[in-house]
Structure 1
Amino acid sequence: MGKIITFGEVLMRISPRGNKKFIQSNIVEFYFGGTELNVGISIANFGGNVKHISAVSQDSIGEIALAYIRQFGVDTSSIFFSKRPLGVYFLEVGAVLRPSMISYNRSHSAFSEITPEKVDWENALEQGTWLHWTGITPALSKGAFDTLNAGLKLAKEKGLVISADPTYRSGLWTYGQDPQEALTILLKNSTVFIGGVNEINEVLGTAYGFSNKEFVEASKQLIATFPSIEKVFDKIRTSLNSSWHKIRARMWNGTEFRETEDLDITHVVDRIGTGDAFSAGLIYGLQQYDDYKAMEFASAACALKHTYEGDVNFATVNEVINILSGDTSGRLKR
C-alpha cells in the first residue's frame, strides 16, 4: 500500500456515560474523531501508511488531539495550529426505541478558518497514492470547500486514486454555497464513489428508488455524468431499532453488480463512525483484493465498528477476516 491521505476536521465528542441523557448525568466521556480522521485511523490500524490534513486548536486540547492521532502512527505533519477552539459535538447514545441525538458546536472551530494558502498541497501529497474526502468537509465553510477543491485538482494531476463519500447533511451547508453545485465540482476529480441512491439523487437531482435495479441505473448515470468515476459502492443499513442493525453492501464497478450477505448486529455498542469504518475497509480492501472481496471486507469492518465505543474502529485485519470466514459467535479466544 502507498500513502493514504485524508483531509477533514478533528472533533472532540462529549457524551454521558452509557445510554443516559445529559439531564440524567453530570459525568461525561470524551473521544476524538471526525469523519475523515476516523477513516485514516482505521486504515492505520490495518497497517496502512496514513497522513491526515487538518487544523487543531493551539492549546492543551489541540496538543492532546495530536497525541491521540499520533499514537496510531498517523502522520500529523500537515496539521496546523489555530487560535480558534477545537470543534466539539455532543452525543446522547440512544437505545432500543430511543434514537441517538447529536448537537454540533463547530461553526467557529479551528478547522473552519482553513483556506487554500494554509495547506501546502504539494508537500502534503508527497508520496501519496490515495486521497479520501467526504461531503462533510466542503459543507463547513467556503474556505474548506476551496481548500479541498485545490487538493483534489492537484491529486488528480499526480494520478492519485480519489475516493469520495459525498455524505449530504443539509444542516451543515449554511454559508451560501449550493451543495449540488459544490459536490458536482468535487466529483469531477474523483474515481471511487462511496454512497448509495440517496447520495446519487442529491448530486444528479434524480429520483431513483432503492431496488438493486435502480441502484445500477443510478450508478450508470453517475458514471456517465462523471467519467472519472470508475466504481460505486453502497453500504445498506437496516435498523430494526437503535440497538439492532443489519449491514450489507452492493456495488456497480462498470461491468457487474454484486451484493454481500447481511451481517446481523444484535447489540449496537456505538454506531458513530460505522460508515467511516466501511470506507476505510473499502480503501484498504481495494488495494489488497478484487472489488467484491474488498466490499465484503468493508462490510465486515463496518459491522465490527458497532462493537467499539468512540468514533474510531479498532479492528485489525485478522479480526475482520475472522468475520468473513463466518466466525461471528463472539466466543472467548484464548
Structure 2
Amino acid sequence: MFLSLGEIMLRFCSGELPLRAAKTFHFSEGGGEYNIARSLSRSFGESTGIATAMVDNEIGHLVHHLILSSGVDTSNIIWRKFDGVGRECRNPLYFAERGFGYRSPKATMDRGHSAPAQLAPGDFDWDTLFSSGDITWFHTGGIFAGLSESTSELALEAIQCARKHGITTSYDPNYRESLWMSRGGPKAAAEVNRAMAQHTDVLLGVSPIFHEAHPPLECRELISLMEDTAAQLPSVKTIAASSRVIHSASMHDYCAKVWHNGEIYHSDQYKNAQVLDRIGSGDAFGAGLIYGLMHGKAPNEAANIGCANAVLTMSTPCDSTLCSKKEILSLAATSTSHELR
C-alpha cells in the first residue's frame, strides 16, 4: 500500500467567475500530499491510504466521505474533538479561482488552527505501521512540513522510520510562501527540505532544497540543478522535475526531466496543452511518475505517464485526475489525444 502523510482541505471552486464575484461554488477535497494518494487510487487502481487529522464535525465527515469515494484508506485519520466554533481546532478550507487567458488562477487559504497543523511527533505509531508489511511506499511533502514546527518534526520522524523499515520513500519539496512567512521564509523551508531529502529515495522536485525557491528554469539550468542536488544527496535514487511554459492561464507547454542513478532522462513534451484547472497538476505528475516506478517502467516512461496524468488533470476540474488509467496510459504512449473506443 502507498501511504501519504499530509493535510486534506475542503476546496471551494468558483468555476468561471473570479472569487470576488462568485455566486456559487463547486466543492471537492484536495491537498498536495493527499492528491497523489487519490490519483494513484482513483485513476490507477492502486491501494493507498492517508495519515492526517480531522475535526469530528459535519465538515469533517463530508471530507471523509469524499476521501472514501476515491478509494483511499482512512484508517490512519486521527479525529479531534470539535470545540463548537473552531477556535481551537478546525478543518482547513480553501477557495480556488481557475483563471483564464490573462487572468491568473488564485487560491485563498483558510487553514489557521487546523487539525493537521497540530499533528506532532508521537501521534502515529510509525514502527507498528511500517513493520506490518502492508505499506511499501511512503510519501509526504513540503506543504505538510510547512504547516507548523510540529508537522516538520512529524514528517521527519515518519520518513526516517519508513527508511529504517526498508520502505521506498518520496518527498515533494513544495514551497508555499504563505506557510513560511512567519517561520523564516525560503531559507527555513530549504533547511527542512534538506533534512527530509537525506532520507528520500525519490524527490518530486528540486527546489527549494539547497538553492531556495526560484522562477522556472531553462532546460540546462534545471539539469545542472538536479545533478548538483544529486551530488549532495548520495542516498537519493531518483529526482524528477516537471517544467512548464505558460503562454496564458489557458495554454501551457508541459514536460519533465528525470535524474536517475546518474543519468538524465527526458519526457515527451506536450505543447499548447489547454488548461481548464491547473491546480493539482504537479501532484498528478508525481502520481503518474510513482505509478510508473512502482511497476518497473524506465525513468523516461514513468515521466511520460506523469506528464500525461498532469495534462489530463489540467483538462478537468478539481485537484486530481478524473480520467481512467486507460486514458492516461494511452496518452502517455502517443503524446496526442485521440478517440478511445
TM norm structure 2: 0.90
The residue that corresponds to 1:100 in the other structure is 105
Contact 2:175 2:213 in 1 (8 A): no
The residue that corresponds to 1:328 in the other structure is 336
Percent sequence identity over matched residues? 27
Q: Secondary structure of the residue that 1:116 maps to in structure 2?
A: coil
CA distance in 2 between partners of 1:149 and 1:208 (Å): 27
The residue that corresponds to 1:277 in the other structure is 284
CA distance in 2 between partners of 1:193 and 1:329 (Å): 29
- Paired residues, what number? 327
Q: Is 1:185 aligned with 2:183? A: no
CA distances 1:53-108 after superposition (whole Å, capped 9, x unpaired): 00112101111211111122211111011232210111122100100111111121
Query: Do the aligned partners of residues 53 and 222 (structure 1) sit closer, same or farther apart at CA in structure 2, a change above 3 Å counting?
Result: same
Query: Do the aligned partners of residues 310 and 209 (structure 1) sit closer, same or farther apart at CA in structure 2, a change above 3 Å counting?
Result: closer
The residue that corresponds to 1:228 in the other structure is 235
List gaps (5 residues or longer) in structure 2. 83-88
Q: CA deviation at 1:217?
A: 2.9
Q: Secondary structure of the residue that 2:75 maps to in structure 1?
A: coil
Q: CA deviation at 1:41?
A: 0.8
CA distance in 2 between partners of 1:140 and 1:234 (Å): 23
Query: Do the aligned partners of residues 329 and 146 (structure 1) sit closer, same or farther apart at CA in structure 2, a change above 3 Å counting?
Result: closer
The residue that corresponds to 2:49 in the other structure is 51
CA distances 1:84-141 after superposition (whole Å, capped 9, x unpaired): 2210111122100100111111121111111112222223333211111111111110
Q: Secondary structure of the residue that 1:239 maps to in structure 2?
A: strand
Q: Secondary structure of the residue that 1:137 maps to in structure 2?
A: helix
Q: Which amino acid aligns with 1:88?
A: L
Q: Which amino acid aligns with 1:101?
A: K
List gaps (5 residues or longer) in structure 1. none
The residue that corresponds to 1:119 in the other structure is 124
Q: Secondary structure of the residue that 1:76 maps to in structure 2?
A: strand
The partner residue of 2:313 within 288, 291, 305 is: 305
CA distance in 1 between partners of 2:204 and 2:230 (Å): 13
Contact 1:208 1:214 in 2 (8 A): no
The residue that corresponds to 1:42 in the other structure is 39
CA distance in 2 between partners of 1:122 and 1:75 (Å): 19
CA distance in 2 between partners of 1:73 and 1:183 (Å): 30
CA distances 1:240-295 after superposition (whole Å, capped 9, x unpaired): 10001111111121332221222135431111110000000011100121111111
Contact 1:277 1:313 in 2 (8 A): yes
Query: Do the aligned partners of residues 246 and 93 (structure 1) sit closer, same or farther apart at CA in structure 2, a change above 3 Å counting?
Result: same
CA distances 1:294-326 after superposition (whole Å, capped 9, x unpaired): 111111111111111111212222111211232
The partner residue of 1:256 within 258, 263, 273 is: 263
CA distance in 2 between partners of 1:138 and 1:93 (Å): 26
CA distance in 2 between partners of 1:213 and 1:92 (Å): 33
CA distance in 1 between partners of 2:183 and 2:17 (Å): 36
CA distances 1:170-225 after superposition (whole Å, capped 9, x unpaired): 221145362222111111111111114xx05x524698993444333322221221
CA distance in 2 between partners of 1:157 and 1:13 (Å): 35
Query: Do the aligned partners of residues 265 and 39 (structure 1) sit closer, same or farther apart at CA in structure 2, a change above 3 Å counting?
Result: farther
Deviating more after overlay: 149-158 vs 76-85: 76-85
The residue that corresponds to 1:292 in the other structure is 300
Query: Do the aligned partners of residues 98 and 147 (structure 1) sit closer, same or farther apart at CA in structure 2, a change above 3 Å counting?
Result: same
Q: Which amino acid aligns with 1:194?
A: L
Q: CA deviation at 1:327?
A: 6.8
RMSD: 2.0
The residue that corresponds to 2:86 in the other structure is none
Contact 1:107 1:140 in 2 (8 A): no
Q: Which amino acid aligns with 1:37?
A: Y
Contact 1:136 1:168 in 2 (8 A): yes
